[in-house]
Amino acid sequence: MDALDALQNRTASPRLVEPAPSQDELQEILKAGLRAPDHGMLRPWHFLLISGEGREKLGQVFAANLEPESEQEKEKLLNSPLRAPLIIVAVTRFKEHPKVPNIEQVCATAAAVQNMSVAIHALGYSSIWRTGKAAFSTAVKEALGFAATDEIVGFLYVGTPTFADRPVPENKIEDYVSTWG
Ligand SMILES: Cc1cc2nc3c(=O)[nH]c(=O)nc-3n(C[C@H](O)[C@H](O)[C@H](O)COP(=O)(O)O)c2cc1C
């Protein structure tokens, strides 16, 4: 698939099933992520791969730490990682740098997530970038082995879509773009 086609036509898929990308394909996807722009070449990102039974353990981490208010909500948290065969957790581990504030390090990690989501699309799979309460919970971060000061930028759910990609939304360029000077 050509690069412009992948960039312009990627869509998110909320329900993803097996197969996930193969190990070789996953290497390509991660290589695309690692080519994100990165001020100061700080490499502030870390990517945690969760699949198989790891997803059940992730559901248990969510249920134990996100204070569900009902059995139904607890069940939802337990099952939420099962919505895809592979989850890539993208985390920023901030580095001290006189010219690179934390927001730029989050931007670099976010660019890596987007590079990966486009690569996933180009390989014929799909993904959805999710955050929610789980991304902002210190307890979840620590249960996954990160520090409270790290930032979960996204859970990228990856797999094969269960229905055809939804149509690409119409974007009118003039609604978002103007010229100056
Ligand atoms: C930082 C970030 C966090 C997001 N968190 C969620 C989320 O928690 N749940 C969700 O349904 N979509 C979330 N989205 C949006 C989806 O990934 C997706 O972009 C959206 O459903 C629109 O689909 P599209 O990407 O095909 O236009 C998030 C997107 C970004 C960039």
pLDDT tens digits, residue range 59-81? 999 999 999 999 999 999 999 99
Q: Cα-flanking dihedrals φ and ψ of residue 128, to 5°?
A: -145, 135
Q: Is ligand 1 within 6 A of the CB of residue 131?
A: yes
- CATH of residue 133's domain is 3.40.109.10
User: Which residue's structure tokens are 């927001």?
Assistant: 103
Going by alpha carbons, the residue nearest to atom 4 of ligand 1 is: 130
Q: In this structure, what DSSP letter does residue 169 have?
A: P
Number of alpha carbons in the 13 Å side-chain half-sphere of residue 113: 31
14-40 tens-digit pLDDT? 999 999 999 999 999 999 999 999 999
Residue 166 domain-assigned (yes or no): no
Distance 11 CA to ligand 1 centre (A): 10
How far, in Å, is the centroid of ligand 1 from the Cα of 128? 6
Whose alpha carbon is nearest atom 5 of ligand 1? 130
Mutate to test the pocket of ligand 1, among 92, 128, 140, 170 (most ligand atoms within 8 A of CB): 128
By the 8 A CB rule, do 130 and 18 touch? no
Structural domain includes residue 171: no
Where helices occur in 34-179 by DSSP H, the ranges are: 53-65, 71-79, 102-122, 138-143, 173-176
Pick from 68, 156, 58: nearest CA to 109: 156
Is the CB–ligand 1 distance for residue 132 below 6 Å? yes
- pLDDT of residue 10 exceeding 90, the answer is yes
Q: Is 88 a domain residue?
A: yes
pTM of the full predicted structure?
Answer: 0.97
Non-local CB neighbours of 120 within 8 Å, separated by 6+ positions: 21, 29, 126, 127, 158
In 3D, which of 159, 70, 54 has the Cα closest to residue 117?
159
Range of the domain at 63: 3-159
Q: Is residue 65 part of a domain?
A: yes
Residue 180, both tokens: 């100056």
Instruction: With respect to residue 180, please indicate whether it lies within any of the assigned structural domains.
Output: no
State the total domains in the chain: 1
Q: Could you give the angle at the alpha carbon of 65 between the alpha carbons of 93 and 92, nearest 5°?
A: 10
Q: How far apart are CA 116 and CA 32, in angstroms?
A: 6
125 part of a folded domain: yes
Q: Is residue 120 part of a domain?
A: yes
Q: Flag whether 168 is in a domain.
A: no
Share of the chain above pLDDT 70, in %: 99
